[in-house]
Chains A and B, each alone.
Chain A
């Protein structure tokens, strides 16, 4: 319960106030956006799988804030948070979830496949571990072209037992590629607790076997995530090769909307929920006098407006036209 205690205002803030406010706003936006998405799912507006990131917001927001705009991001299917943290348009994300023509992929990718090439956000991938070889390839392209660009690759604890995980780490290491591997360890792959399926307790040490330095961090604290990612990004950008971060976190909801979460202890859930990354950060900001009650209400109002507008936009948007069915199967020659 430590996070809830009022904090002493430090001599100097760890970051400029605007940045702290941005972290808070982004985390809250992800939370409210997904709560709304869950409602829309219940109302049948969203189909297929919907995997919520609720509880893990500090990871996406803290880490993506440490990137430059040109840096590539590839991630898994639980990626609304990453997309919003990358400032992708909430309207177009919601429209994608609704399967509308105005969605980020014109309605053809859905919740698990968000892309925004203009933000170097190169996809949510729904095959566990499948984005890891892609990340090494993006790193290879940047290094081949001599670009100042790193690739941030997110994956879950379920991916670390895949062959592709090990193949990708090894290749990134032998070719010294600018890739930051980012494990979001939320303790479970669907209903399977990580220690039941992974022979290694300290998962990040997998990386060390391939000579890749690693670090385990608290994924519930946005500032910790930001600082650690910033350091890791600097190291990767400086040409020292790949780095591996493991953030410990927890998803507060089920694996997907279909999951009644019968495999977890309530006490464990309560312990993690007491460390809610948004509550904890708000308490901190309030303690520091950075977030007044007025400002808090203003942020909440703004976020709610964005989310409401996203739903309105998605509702009002047309479904993809029939001719979209066969479109974009192949790229046209230039």
Chain B
């Protein structure tokens, strides 16, 4: 076990894959000479060369689309979309091609493609650079969506992504890159479709993913000091979705708070809340509560931005309102 950052965990999984399989290559904007917008691929160009670490034009559609074609052609692309906001310029290739080719071809074509991207707000980057859109992709059958909340999960899920014969949207959070955590030295991976109980508790279940897992853990700590034991469930992948783990937790705690960074209206939290009321209705002692981002475009001013993103106190308040 070593304690490493989330950035280092992702970097290690990429580097291992590059070393293990010559067909693996990376492409994206500024991943080579610049070292990656979030420095994940720093040094890779020197180590692996231009053939395998490809700087691309600022052309998101052809970055993803040529990744799809390359995957169909028998190699193993990992494409990086600098942030999830720019994935909107590639959404045609992701949704109309990557997600559908296996199905539309009656199984003749496979698209083993990893699309890495960066989600979330909190850096005062304003409305067009602070969005959390991973649940848009989770809506699409044919895609898989990983949302790691810790260095352990980041490395484990990325390793699992390399075993996938399907397109994977691998969503990292810009505020998690510096997060440190224990990662085993040896081989391991985190299978898709397995939620994780990040903290056990008996009084309430907090269900969340990506950075909000860390915020929820802080909230749970605060609640514990006040005598409330919250169980924190990290979904880890949005598609496939493991709903069993949160449902079983709610059957035990009888209360649920769903937390997400994105907008409340049409977000992923509504999906989870609905599943819980369908599958654990008789166990609920209170309505399922939701904590989500405010339904506004992200403001630049720091004080307003802080109001728009869910925080520890919001979660604590939501829990207390249920008890």
Contact = CB atoms under 8 A, between A and B. Distances in A.
Interface stretch (B37-45, B105-113, B218-226, B256-264): B105-113
Given A133-B93, A145-B75, A164-B92, A329 B102 contact: yes
Interface in A119-140: 122-123, 125, 127, 130, 132-140
Contact of B61 (A104, A142, A164): A164
Contacts of A23: none
B142 to A, nearest CB: 6
Interface stretch (B65-73, B181-189, B267-275, B302-310): B65-73
A134 B102 contact: no
A171 B65 CA distance: 11
Q: Using C-beta atoms within 8 Å of the partner chain, give the interface range for chain A.
A: 35 or more
Contacts of B67: 137
B142 A330 contact: yes
Interface in A125-179: 125, 127, 130, 132-142, 144-145, 151, 163-164, 167-168, 170-171, 174-175
Q: Is the interface of A mostly helix, strand, loop or mixed?
A: mixed
A113 B106 CA distance: 10
B66 A140 contact: yes
Contacts of B59: 167, 170-171
A100 to B, nearest CB: 11
A193 interface: no
Contacts of B66: 133-134, 136-137, 140, 168, 171
B49 interface: no
Contacts of B163: 333
Interface residues of B, number: 46
A134 B72 contact: yes
A117 B112 CA distance: 16
Interface string B107-151: 111111000000000000000000000000000011010000000
B284 interface: no
Nearest to A179: B69
Nearest to A127: B96
A91 interface: no
A115 B72 contact: no
Contact of A123 (B54, B74, B109): B109
B6 interface: no
A109 B105 contact: yes
Contact of A330 (B70, B96, B166): B166
Contacts of A127: 92, 96-97
Interface string A231-250: 00000000000000000000
Contacts of A142: 73
B96 A138 contact: no
Given A123-B101, A127-B92, A141-B74, A108 B65 contact: no
A334 B112 CA distance: 12
A235 B2 CA distance: 54
A227 interface: no
Contacts of B301: none
A331 B141 contact: no
Contacts, number: 154
B62 A328 contact: no
B72 A138 contact: yes
Q: Is the interface of B mostly helix, strand, loop or mixed?
A: mixed
Contacts of B61: 133, 163-164, 167
A330 B103 CA distance: 8
A141 B103 contact: no
Given A138-B73, A168-B62, A334 B165 contact: yes
A47 to B, nearest CB: 16
B170 interface: no
Contact of B62 (A164, A331, A333, A334): A164
A327 interface: yes
B106 A103 contact: yes
Contacts of A125: 97
A104 B72 CA distance: 18
Contact of B70 (A109, A132, A137, A174): A137
B227 interface: no
A167 B62 contact: yes
A105 interface: yes
B93 A130 contact: yes
B102 A328 contact: yes
Interface of A: 72, 74, 103-109, 113, 115-117, 122-123, 125, 127, 130, 132-142, 144-145, 151, 163-164, 167-168, 170-171, 174-175, 327-334
Given A134-B72, A170-B59, 14 more contacts: A106-B106, A115-B105, A123-B104, A132-B62, A133-B68, A137-B65, A137-B69, A137-B70, A140-B73, A163-B89, A164-B92, A167-B61, A168-B65, A331-B110
